[in-house]
């Protein structure tokens, strides 16, 4: 499954089986049964991928409390074993015509992530690995205490990140990297991207304004 390309949100279509998606959950809410008090049935949420495309998701045959214990707003996940349907126009909360349905078989793999304010960015650098050229770049980020950490991006992730135009992004730039490989050597942390890594620029999360104001 690791070698299978995740489906971009903008390519999701109703009643079509997809292997997996990699997204960030930016909002979760409950739906109630009309005429009852505090009786919840379905969980609803908004899923956003690295291209900032959004789709609504909801539970199908799972109680709200059961599903809510598996996911959290602001976190990033790789999701498999889900269904898709075409959503009715007047019920849409995002423009996407498709809705993702979580079932009792849906699996969520939480992706480790790190957030920071970009302080420096290295240009793409070619590296010879196993008789082929792979590009890398180092991104230095700061936390709210202005402590610095270097994240090394490789291959497609590095090329996609370095292709972003600084003129099109509001400064300061806040980034979230997900599914990173972590190594510790002589009490120093080294982070690098993997085939599953994603990045989100200025994501819609509560911490964004805090980092922007530092």
Model confidence band, residue 1 (pLDDT cutoffs 50, 70, 90): very low
Model confidence band, residue 169 (pLDDT cutoffs 50, 70, 90): low
CATH architecture of 113-213: Beta Barrel (2.40)
pLDDT at 139 over 80: yes
Q: What is the pLDDT of residue 89?
A: 64
pLDDT at 99 over 80: yes
pTM of the model: 0.68
Q: How far apart are CA 20 and CA 13, in angstroms?
A: 13
Q: What is the pLDDT of residue 3?
A: 57
Q: Which residues make up the CATH 2.40.50.140 domain(s) of the chain? A: 9-110, 113-213
Conformational region of residue 187, where left means phi above 0, alpha means psi within -120 to 50, and beta covers everything else: left
CATH architecture of 9-110: Beta Barrel (2.40)
User: Percent of the chain, pLDDT > 70?
Assistant: 91
* Mean pLDDT value across residues 116-125: 90
pLDDT at 31 over 90: no
């Amino acid at each position: 499954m690791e070698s299978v390309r995740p489906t971009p949100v903008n390519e999701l279509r109703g009643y079509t089986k997809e292997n997996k998606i990699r997204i960030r959950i930016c909002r979760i809410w409950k739906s109630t049964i009309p005429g009852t008090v505090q009786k919840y049935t379905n969980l609803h949420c908004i899923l956003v991928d690295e291209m900032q495309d959004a789709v609504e998701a909801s539970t199908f045959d799972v109680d709200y409390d059961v599903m809510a214990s598996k996911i959290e707003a602001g976190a990033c996940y790789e999701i498999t074993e889900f269904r898709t349907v075409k959503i009715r126009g007047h019920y849409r909360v995002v423009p996407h015509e498709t809705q993702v349905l979580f079932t009792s078989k849906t699996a969520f793999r939480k992706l480790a992530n790190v957030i920071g304010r970009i302080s420096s960015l290295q240009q793409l650098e070619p590296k010879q690995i196993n008789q082929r050229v792979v590009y890398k770049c180092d991104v230095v980020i700061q936390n709210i205490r202005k402590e610095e950490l270097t994240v090394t991006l490789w291959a497609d992730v590095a090329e996609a990140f370095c292709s972003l135009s600084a003129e099109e992004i509001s400064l300061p730039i806040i980034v979230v990297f997900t599914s990173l490989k972590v190594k510790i050597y002589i009490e120093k942390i080294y982070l690098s991207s993997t085939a599953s890594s994603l990045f989100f620029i200025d994501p819609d999360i509560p911490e964004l304004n805090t980092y922007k104001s530092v």
